[in-house]
């Protein structure tokens, strides 16, 4: 089983357009430091599931469609690639979403190849191939799900982006799991308590990490500001890892 971070940026990406900060300048000259739309790919011997679809070139990245797409929510940086592939031909692609009647632009009106589906209810699992997927409510400006991904080998992955803090029921549910991997939104460096945020800063992420045990924890949905802060504060993470684009994690049976 393999989990790959396809993209690890916030909506502005890194480098941020027009920005001359050290993180953005480094990303302009070093491909490895660039960050694209936050998304991931889960692969087993039987199943391929795409988590979010913000890459505009999704049709080129997946000339053969995944078995399913899990959308966390309908913000453009998580759905932009769907606008291209929907007009293709071939087998319909199931797209599982939170219950959001507005969706994004005209995706519902003209779904094309996309077979939009909603989960029966939060915390109720759906089986896709040999993977069980459980939707988990998050705190965001649109209806938003994180996902608990469970494989028969015992691997459990919690993918939690985008959110600021966690709803109590989601946190209580995850505390009971023995997570192999926790992937968590950490868009911002530490912010003043008065700051109005729609995503975790490091202080919010740190609180969640202390409450939810996991064998490995990765931060994602990283802003250029967070990358700048990390240049001199990497040691503060204390064992927590920062995801990079195209980084793959293998789980042995």
In this model, does residue 167 exceed pLDDT 80?
yes
What is the per-residue pLDDT across 111-148, written as a single tens digit (0 to 9) for each?
999 999 999 999 999 999 999 999 999 999 999 999 99
DSSP 8-state symbol, 192: -
Instruction: Kindly indicate the confidence band of residue 252, based on its pLDDT and cuts at 50, 70 and 90.
Output: confident
Element (H, E) at 210: helix 202-211
In this model, does residue 66 exceed pLDDT 90?
yes
In this model, does residue 202 exceed pLDDT 80?
yes
Element (H, E) at 170: helix 168-175
d(CA 28, CA 105): 32
Quick one: which of 109, 107, 129, 126 has its CA closest to 118? 126
pLDDT of 192: 94
d(CA 241, CA 219): 6
What is the per-residue pLDDT across 68-87, written as a single tens digit (0 to 9) for each?
999 999 999 999 999 999 99
In this model, does residue 253 exceed pLDDT 80?
no
Contact 160, 166 (CB under 8 A): yes
pLDDT of 65: 85
Place of tokens 């049709």: 59
- Enumerate the domain spans of the chain: 2-250
d(CA 144, CA 135): 9
d(CA 147, CA 125): 10
The CATH number assigned to the domain with range 2-250 reads: 3.60.15.10
Percentage above 70 pLDDT, the chain: 100
pLDDT of 153: 93
Q: Is 64 helix (H, G, I), strand (E, B) or coil?
A: coil
Other C-beta atoms closer than 10 Å to the C-beta of 212 total 22
- Report field, pTM of the whole predicted structure over 0.75: yes
Mean pLDDT (the chain) is 96
User: Across-strand partners of 159?
Assistant: 147, 183
In this model, does residue 104 exceed pLDDT 80?
yes
Q: Is 198 helix (H, G, I), strand (E, B) or coil?
A: coil
The answer to whether the peptide bond before residue 48 is cis (omega within 30 degrees of 0) is no
In this model, does residue 5 exceed pLDDT 90?
yes
Instruction: Kindly indicate the confidence band of residue 23, based on its pLDDT and cuts at 50, 70 and 90.
Output: very high
Contact 32, 24 (CB under 8 A): no
| Angle between helix 202-211 and 168-175 (nearest 10) | 40
């Amino acid at each position: 089983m393999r989990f790959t971070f396809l993209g690890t940026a916030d909506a502005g990406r890194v480098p941020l357009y027009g920005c001359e900060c050290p993180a953005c300048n480094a990303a302009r000259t070093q491909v490895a430091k660039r960050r694209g739309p936050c998304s991931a790919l889960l692969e087993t011997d039987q199943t391929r599931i795409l988590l979010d679809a913000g890459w505009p070139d999704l049709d080129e990245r997946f000339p053969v469609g995944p078995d399913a797409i899990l959308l966390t929510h309908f913000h453009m940086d998580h759905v932009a690639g769907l606008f291209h592939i929907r007009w293709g031909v071939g087998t319909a692609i199931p797209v599982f979403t939170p219950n959001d009647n507005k969706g994004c632009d005209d995706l519902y009106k003209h779904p094309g190849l996309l077979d939009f589906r909603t989960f029966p209810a939060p915390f109720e699992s759906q089986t896709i191939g040999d993977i069980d997927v459980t939707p988990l409510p998050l705190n965001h400006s649109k209806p938003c799900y994180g996902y608990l991904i469970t494989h028969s080998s015992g691997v459990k992955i919690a993918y939690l982006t985008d959110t600021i803090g966690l709803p109590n029921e989601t946190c209580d549910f995850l505390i009971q799991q023995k997570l192999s991997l926790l992937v968590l939104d950490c868009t911002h460096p530490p912010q003043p308590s008065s700051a109005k945020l729609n995503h975790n800063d490091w202080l919010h992420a740190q609180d969640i990490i202390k409450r939810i045990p996991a064998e490995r924890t990765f931060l994602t949905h990283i802003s250029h500001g967070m990358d700048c802060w990390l240049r001199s504060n990497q040691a503060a993470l204390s064992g927590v890892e920062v995801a990079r684009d195209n980084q793959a994690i293998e789980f042995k049976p």
